[in-house]
Chains A and B, each alone.
Chain A
Amino acid sequence: MGMGKSLKLIIEALLFTSDRPLSAREIQACLPDASPPDINETLKALQTEYETLDRSFLLREVAQGFQLRTKPEYAPYVLKMLKTAPTRLSRPALETLAIIAYKQPILRQEIERLRGVDVGGILRTLLEKDLVRIMGRKNLPGRPLIYGTTQRFLSVFDLKDLGSLPKLKEIKEFGGDERETDSISEEDRPTDLTHEENAAAPGNEARDSVFHTTEN
């Protein structure tokens, strides 16, 4: 297969057709002759090109992949066409999600300590929306469940990966309790937990959650 222009257009065709973010690896699987650096370079070139062309959509890097997405100013029209209400999450749900995103792997008990209130109902909603997943169980009495975020979470909130979560503002005023709260990288997974059934797959697909209740 030729390089340059055609590679770019082939990748564009894949992105155009896909209904979820495509990773460079998935793209490479369709283009065995292209080298990973070439693919990455081409993706970046496409990103710049769409920006320059000033179309209604852009190529966004989300959830460790690339996806064509409309620009925000077209949302009202798209919503009208879809005849649907925009995604909404209540404030308590967003707060719970924020805690899980930064503190994962985290136990429900710990989320409740931070929010100061029962989160059972909210956790159920977040699991149903596939924003949160059960990562395993902790080796503690009662073997409590461990929660973390999903690929879908990254996709919905326009995040490339967990490493691109903005840093938490530190609590400065207390000398003793200052803590560096770095966002968690994918490798930073717990070692002291026993995963049930399936341990996180190396590919780390959105659907590796033990309990995925929704289709998407």
Chain B
Amino acid sequence: MILIDSDALIGFLIPSDPHHQNASKLFASLHNTPLAMSWETIDEVSTKLSMYYGKDVAMKLFKLIEKSNVKIYYIDAINAQQVVKIFSSQTSKNVSLTDCANVAICRSLGITHVFSFDPHYSQNNLKLLQN
């Protein structure tokens, strides 16, 4: 299973994004791979799309996610403690709580690879998908 982060998804969605070509190739190569996303990632993507493209696009995102085979994972009270632990252990202030939630989800599910271009995941012993 591969966890998808917001930077890769937005990079795929927007053709002018610097990561678009790379994200498109990687995403297309995952058609037989089970995919997962955290609710926190959906929060980030939908908020950005709503701000720039309108609420209708954010609502379309929700509907398409619901119709698709991506598995959504939620942070509950138990793994929230783990998220905070991971957050407190980060040396960079640029690592968001969402990033830490994604790391916690990967650790709890045994996910080793993240579809992202964010080097912080490598620093947390996760592998980034590469061409």
A and B together in one complex: no
* Interface residue ranges, B against A (CB under 8 Å): none
